[in-house]
């Protein structure tokens, strides 16, 4: 099956710093989402982005489907950005999402 | 997007017992999914539950251990049977919004097995 690898696995930032999280996938995908899992375990959908670029406030994401990767940019990080970031992909005809390995982010005040 | 309610939110269970997790959606949805997240790990899909048919289980998960019901288009249950400490995880229910490709999650059920 498809492999979904995220990097880096762990990241520590000072408040106000910028960061880039990467999601690589081993096969063609129909759909891709980025999620933030907060310290209480709730998964929040950040972006639905099978291709192209989207921005929402301090966050933006880019997916280059032909090269099988997606990037999540966090600018001016805040302590509330701490948690785990997952990408999830759906391959053609499966209707199910497979999750990446995750990036654990800690933002220090 | 759909709003998903799960209960219990957390529970502590004894080895050898079973626990049923309920998932209620505020709108009718065709596909519901159950995921497991073991401590410090990513999410792993357990099964896909469609109304009116048997759940489809992923490799490594079996119906005897994780029986699933889907009696209508807004409700599903997952039972974790004959629990062992290795079953201590967060179990999450999710749906795809009708006509959309976006996956939405409930708050999860955090199980600890002693």
In which band, very low, low, confident or very high, does the pLDDT at A31 lie, cut at 50, 70 and 90? very high
Low-confidence ranges of chain B (pLDDT < 70): 98
Condensed to tens digits (0 to 9), the pLDDT of residues A59-80 reads: 999 999 999 999 999 999 999 9
Report the residue from B42, B45, B105 with minimal CB separation from A96: B45
Residues 6+ apart with CB under 8 A from A72: A20, A21, A22, A23, A34, A46, A47, A59, A60, A61, A85, A87
Q: Which of A50, A52, A43, A107 is nearest to A78 (CA)?
A: A107
Report the residue from B101, B102, B107 with minimal CB separation from A42: B107
Q: Give the pLDDT score at B101.
A: 80
Whether residues B102 and A33 touch (CB distance < 8 A) is answered with yes
Q: Give the pLDDT score at B100.
A: 74
B30 contact A CB<8A: no
């Amino acid at each position: 099956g498809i492999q979904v690898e995220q990097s880096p696995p762990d990241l520590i930032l000072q408040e106000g710093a910028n960061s880039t999280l990467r999601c690589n996938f081993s096969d063609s995908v129909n759909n891709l989402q980025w999620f933030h899992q907060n310290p209480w375990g709730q998964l929040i959908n950040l972006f639905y982005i099978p291709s192209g670029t989207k921005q929402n406030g301090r966050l933006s994401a880019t997916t280059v489907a032909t090269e099988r990767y997606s990037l999540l940019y966090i600018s001016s990080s805040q302590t509330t950005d701490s948690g785990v970031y997952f990408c999830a992909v759906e391959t053609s005809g499966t209707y199910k999402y497979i999750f990446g390995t995750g990036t654990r982010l800690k933002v220090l005040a | 997007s759909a709003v998903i309610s799960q209960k219990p939110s957390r529970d502590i269970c004894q080895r050898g017992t079973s626990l049923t997790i309920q998932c209620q959606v505020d709108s009718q949805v065709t596909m519901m999914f159950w995921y497991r997240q073991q401590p410090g790990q990513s999410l792993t899909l357990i099964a896909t539950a469609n109304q009116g048919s048997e759940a489809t289980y992923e490799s490594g998960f079996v119906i005897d251990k994780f029986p699933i019901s889907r009696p209508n288009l807004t409700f599903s249950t997952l039972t974790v049977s004959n629990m062992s400490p290795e079953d201590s995880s967060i179990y999450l229910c999710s749906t795809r919004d009708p006509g959309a490709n976006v996956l939405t999650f409930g708050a999860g059920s955090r199980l600890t097995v002693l």
